[in-house]
Amino acid sequence: MNDSYIQDRIWKIADGVPLKLGNMTIQTTDSEKLLVTGWTRIVHIENFKKTYVLLELKELKASFTDLTETYGGINTIIEKNNLMVEFLMAYDDAGKCGIGLCSELNGELNWYL
């Protein structure tokens, strides 16, 4: 994807159109949040380890920070819509469903498994 395409897609996030970049999905929610979902690389849910998911969460947050520094439109959307940013790590059950593993909102970590 080129830069102009990504910038154009970023502006559509505010209209409810999710943006998927690699292993990250960014979308707004009805509860005034910008939800940044990272999809774990864990293949089998029985191999779930909190330490590994925490590492992936840290990587997700770093990737999102890099994205906001490259494309200022994300910060504009957050500010104009008064959104809180929530980071969510989820497990993709082979396309059947997404299972939330943990989320972080305002520095507070919540585990779902």
Percent of the chain's residues with pLDDT above 70:
94
Ranked by mean pLDDT, the top range of 30-44, 71-85, 93-107 is 71-85
Domain boundaries, the chain: 3-111
Residue 106 tokens read as: 């305002």
* Contact in structure between 75 and 85 (CB atoms under 8 Å): no
Q: What is the pLDDT, as a whole number, of residue 68?
A: 94
Q: What is the pLDDT, as a whole number, of residue 74?
A: 93
CATH numeric code, 3-111: 3.30.300
pLDDT of 96 > 70? The answer is no
DSSP string, 79-97: HHTTPEEEEEEEEE-TTS-
pLDDT digits (tens, 9 = 90+) for 17-72: 999 998 899 999 988 999 999 998 877 777 778 999 999 999 999 999 999 999 98
Dihedral sign of CA atoms 104, 100, 62, 81 in order: negative
Radius of gyration of the chain (CA): 14
pLDDT of 103 > 90? The answer is yes
